């Protein structure tokens, strides 16, 4: 039986070679398609030595230049084409490996965690078939790239940083001293040179060799901090120092990773849409290319990560009830209920026999809370918080029914919006300006009477408003991106997803030779450590028990999105 299977495999392989014969090599010379492919790879400035097909491309180019044309070369070029097109279309993230990471998080936490993606609408096989019919690839290499999330501009920034790296990169900060305007330090020329290389220094007239931290450089440091998601201050403290100590390979890996993420976000872009990026803690409303409004967001805590997915906003709820999930009751409320059954009455959190507004109210003093404490026993009752100024959801919530049961809402606690890092919720997204979002949606929904809604917000009467024009929403996780003014930004790895995806990266582990030698890392904001070091010490994040075996194969078949369901909205948190 094994011999039959082996023979079948050999026959299939031979058939594939036969079918590809003449595509790349014909009559002792390379075909037009081969010449187009090699020219494209040569002109693609993102192709570097850390990519899996780099050595193969050099080998093919060498054979072609030396006129060593053979059937073996045809097979090599076929393999190169497949590898390059997969890189161009799908990127290098090993999604199977990352799915296993997500599965472990789901087991670790008793709520939904997720990162949904949409398969790129292109196939290297179909592209090749069309190219053979037409005798040319045409503009397909440009056409397969995403048009959303300023992909091209981010790619151009990657090319710029690769060029900087080839020219020697930038000097890194050495000391651990806190520097302020007026400080005299040997690190100042290094920092000034870094700021000039990345374009933050502007037109400062100070000598590049000056060791004095002047006011003009202070403006550049503020701009640098803004682009890296740090407190906008001229003080070079611990967080800014950590950024100034990072090798350029760190940022190159960040940009590559995020370009690959964009490839797996849905390609269709609605004119009116909402985009929410978790690492930036910010929401944006767009009308075409115009920004309608933006606001700060509080997302899920590191142990309650907000899921990454796309959906459609359908409903606005004025003066919402908060249906408190059982997980929160068990983890946070029972310890107080055991001591004082009516502890939550003052917060308008009451016990009911169901989720409905008309459900029967239960006296919490009649329940033996001890028997539900620190065990998996199901509580047959439900806590709901009535609409009020103290409601955890605030006065407005915005629904896009989904299997994760998360949504966007107001909050009575506004202080945390002034934090630079805002991962504080149980998974849902609290927004700084819910009334601004309401007004923005009213521009496209004539049934939203803003004055009437504002009047209702003064009371506690619950009301649902269905959107006539439903608005698509993308909840993304981009740690490197281009803003609406063309500036390149970087953000911290809030949930450790950068680290998890780089561990299974389908290039040479996403590490260039220089970055291995520099031991640069994306781990906890430091430069990536070499593979051997990470194997010895292991990862310190929540996935530290995961397999140390490297994942190097590109996903063989793209995961198809599951059919859309009409999910019932049962809130999981705030």
Domain regions of the chain by residue span: 2-89, 322-385
Q: Is the pLDDT of residue 118 over 50?
A: yes
Sign of CA dihedral 236, 239, 243, 244: positive
Query: Residue 571: what pLDDT?
Result: 36
Question: Which single residue is written with the structure tokens 């055991």?
Answer: 338
Residue 356: the pLDDT is 82
Q: Residue 555: is its pLDDT beyond 90? A: no
The candidate with the shortest Cα–Cα distance to 53, out of 500, 506, 503, is 506
Q: What is the pTM of this model?
A: 0.84
Average pLDDT of the chain is 86
Split at pLDDT 50, 70, 90, the class of 541 is very low
Give 493-534 pLDDT, tens digit per residue.
999 999 999 987 854 333 333 333 343 345 433 433 333 344
Report the 10 Å Cβ neighbour count for 14. 10
What pLDDT score was predicted for residue 506?
55
Q: Looking at the DSSP assignment, which residues form a beta bridge with residue 312?
A: 472
Q: What is the predicted pLDDT for the residue at 49?
A: 83
Cα–chain center distance at 545: 23
Torsion angle (degrees, nearest 10) of CA 42, 48, 50, 53: -10
Contact 470, 309 (CB under 8 A): no
Question: How far is residue 502 from each of residues 121, 312, 337, measured CA to CA in Å?
Answer: 24, 30, 44
Q: 417: which residues sit within 8 A by CB, 6+ positions away?
A: 296, 298, 432
pLDDT-derived band at 21 (thresholds 50, 70, 90) equals: low
What is the average pLDDT across 84-91? 96
Mean pLDDT value across residues 208-237: 96
Q: What whole-number distance in Å separates Cα of residue 133 and Cα of residue 154?
A: 33
Residue 168: pLDDT over 70: yes
Can you give the pLDDT at residue 122?
A: 95
**DSSP letter string over 91-133?**
-S--HHHHHHHHHHHHHHSSS---B-----S--HHHHHHHHHH
Binning the chain into helix, strand and coil, the percentages to the nearest 5 are: 40, 15, 45
What's the rounded mean pLDDT across residues 17-39?
A: 81
Phi, psi (degrees; rounded to nearest 5) at 275: -125, 130
> With bands split at pLDDT 50, 70 and 90, how would you rate the model's confidence at 291?
very high
Rounded-to-integer distance, Cα 126 and Cα 271, Å = 30
Convert the pLDDT of each residue in 401-427 to its tens digit: 999 999 999 999 999 999 999 999 999
| The pLDDT value given to residue 542 | 40
Comparing 5-19, 82-96, 293-307, 470-484, the range with the smallest average pLDDT is 5-19
Q: Residue 395 CB: number of other CB atoms within 10 A?
A: 26
Q: What is the pLDDT of residue 108?
A: 86
Contact call for residues 318 and 441 (beta carbons, < 8 A): no
Side-chain-side CA neighbours of residue 108 (13 Å): 17
- 66: confidence class by pLDDT, cuts 50, 70, 90: confident
Is pLDDT above 90 for 86? yes
The confidence score (pLDDT) of residue 71 equals 85
Each residue of 319-350: pLDDT tens digit? 999 999 888 899 899 999 999 999 999 999 99
- Comparing 266 with 559, which gets the higher pLDDT? 266
Average pLDDT score over residue span 82-88: 96
Task: List residues bridging with 273 in a β-sheet.
Answer: 286
pLDDT at 564 over 70: no
For the chain, first and last CA: distance in Å?
A: 58
| Residue recorded with tokens 């929160």 | 328
Question: At 270, which helix (H) or strand (E)?
Answer: none
């Amino acid at each position: 039986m094994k011999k039959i299977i082996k023979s079948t495999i050999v026959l299939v392989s031979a058939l594939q070679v036969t079918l590809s014969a003449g595509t790349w090599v014909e009559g002792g010379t390379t075909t037009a398609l081969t010449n187009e492919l090699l020219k494209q790879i040569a002109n693609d400035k993102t192709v570097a030595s850390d990519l899996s097909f780099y050595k193969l491309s050099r080998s093919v180019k060498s054979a072609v230049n030396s006129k060593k044309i053979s059937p073996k070369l045809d097979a090599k070029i076929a393999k190169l084409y497949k590898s390059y097109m997969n890189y161009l279309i799908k990127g290098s993230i090993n999604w199977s490996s990352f799915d296993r990471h997500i599965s472990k998080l789901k087991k670790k936490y008793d709520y939904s965690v997720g990162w949904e993606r949409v398969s790129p609408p292109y196939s290297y096989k179909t592209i090749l078939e069309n190219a053979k019919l037409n005798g040319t690839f045409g503009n397909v290499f440009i056409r397969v790239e995403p048009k959303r999330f300023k992909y091209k501009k981010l790619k151009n920034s990657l090319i710029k940083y690769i060029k900087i790296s080839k020219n020697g990169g930038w000097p890194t900060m050495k000391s651990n001293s806190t520097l302020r305007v007026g400080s005299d330090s040997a690190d100042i020329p290094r920092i000034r040179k870094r700021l000039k290389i990345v374009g933050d220094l502007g037109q400062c007239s100070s000598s590049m060799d000056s060791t004095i931290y002047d006011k003009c450089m202070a403006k550049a440091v503020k701009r640098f901090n803004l682009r890296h998601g740090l407190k906008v201050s001229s003080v070079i403290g611990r967080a800014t120092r950590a950024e100034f100590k990072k090798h350029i390979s760190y940022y190159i890996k960040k940009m590559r990773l995020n370009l690959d993420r964009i490839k797996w976000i849905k390609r269709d872009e609605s004119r009116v849409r909402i985009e929410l990026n978790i690492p930036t803690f910010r929401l944006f409303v767009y009308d075409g290319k115009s920004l309608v409004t933006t606001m700060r967001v509080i997302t899920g805590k590191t142990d309650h990560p907000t899921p990454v997915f796309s959906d459609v906003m359908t409903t606005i709820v004025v003066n919402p009830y908060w249906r408190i999930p059982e997980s929160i009751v068990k983890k946070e409320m029972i310890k107080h209920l055991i001591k004082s059954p009516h502890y939550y009455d003052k917060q308008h959190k009451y016990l009911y026999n169901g989720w409905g507004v008309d459900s029967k109210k239960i006296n919490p003093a009649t329940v033996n809370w001890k028997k539900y404490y620190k065990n998996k026993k199901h509580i047959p009752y439900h806590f709901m918080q009535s609409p009020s100024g103290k409601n955890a959801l605030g006065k407005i919530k915005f629904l896009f029914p989904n299997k994760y049961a998360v949504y966007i809402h107001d909050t009575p606690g506004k202080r945390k919006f002034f934090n630079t890092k805002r991962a504080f919720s149980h998974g849902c997204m609290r927004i700084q300006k819910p009334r601004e979002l309401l007004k923005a949606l009213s521009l496209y929904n004539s049934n939203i009477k803003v004055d009437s809604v504002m009047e209702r917000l003064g009371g506690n009467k619950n009301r649902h408003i269905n959107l006539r024009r439903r608005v698509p929403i993308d909840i993304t996780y981009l740690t490197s991106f281009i803003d609406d003014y063309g500036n390149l930004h970087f953000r911290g790895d809030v949930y450790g997803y950068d680290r998890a995806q780089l561990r299974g990266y389908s290039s040479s582990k996403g590490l260039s030779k220089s970055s291995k030698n520099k031991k640069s890392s994306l781990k906890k904001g430091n430069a990536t450590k070499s593979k051997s070091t990470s194997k010895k010490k292991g990862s310190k994040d929540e996935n530290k028990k995961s397999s140390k075996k490297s994942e190097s194969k590109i996903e063989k078949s793209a995961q198809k999105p599951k059919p859309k369901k009409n999910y019932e909205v049962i809130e999981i948190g705030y």
